[in-house]
Amino acid sequence: MRNALAPLVAGVAIFRDNSIEDIREIVRMLRPALIEFHGDEDDLRMRSFGVPYARALRREEWATLNAAAIHARYPNAAVFVLHADEDKGDTVDWSWIPQGLGKPVLLAGAIGPDNVCAIIAALEPWGVSVREGIESAPGRADGDRMNRFLGEAGGGTGRRRGR
């Protein structure tokens, strides 16, 4: 997989409660620029692989945490990935996002070609992540939806919105 990446494209390895041995093997083979964790991993475990890490959290996890609590729990996170409720579609209320995180924030979940432009304009995230929003069926990305998403997000124009 690493050799299939275009030049200057960084890989991200994504894990959810994988064994330490599995993570070490993937890091050794792929040499990712970032590891994204979605499970019950704590800060000590996430930073033990010698690769910057992104901490992904779902909305219900953020409901009771402010920026100080988030930093106390994940002091070494390089990036935070904030997930909305997947089944809410265009009706997601993004006002729950904690302010003052001081680190890059990626938004994920319930984002697609129809709402990505408005989300970027309103919230100015460091980036957005998409999966279901461009699928024609579970696990099947649709090329036309992906191209439309990139155009709406500003990716097709070579410029970065919101900054």
Of the two residues 95 and 28, the one the predictor is more confident about is 28
Fold of the CATH domain 2-157: TIM Barrel (3.20.20)
* Closest residue by Cα to residue 10 from 79, 101, 102, 107: 79
Q: Copy the structure tokens of residue 19.
A: 């064994």
* Closest residue by Cα to residue 96 from 40, 88, 163: 88
Q: Distance between CA atoms of 42 and 45, rounded to whole angstroms?
A: 6
Of the two residues 123 and 18, the one the predictor is more confident about is 18
Any idea where the domains of the chain sit in the sequence?
Answer: 2-157
Q: What pLDDT sits at residue 159?
A: 43
**Mean pLDDT to the nearest integer, 11-16:** 92
Tens digit of each residue's pLDDT (9 = 90 or more) over 131-162: 888 889 988 888 899 899 989 988 544 444 44
Q: What pLDDT sits at residue 87?
A: 57
**Residue 10 burial (CB count, 10 A):** 9
* Residue 143, CB-side half-sphere exposure with 13 Å CA sphere: 0
- Asked if pLDDT for residue 112 goes beyond 80, the answer is yes
Does the global pTM surpass 0.85? Answer: no
Q: Distance between CA atoms of 119 and 90, rounded to whole angstroms?
A: 10
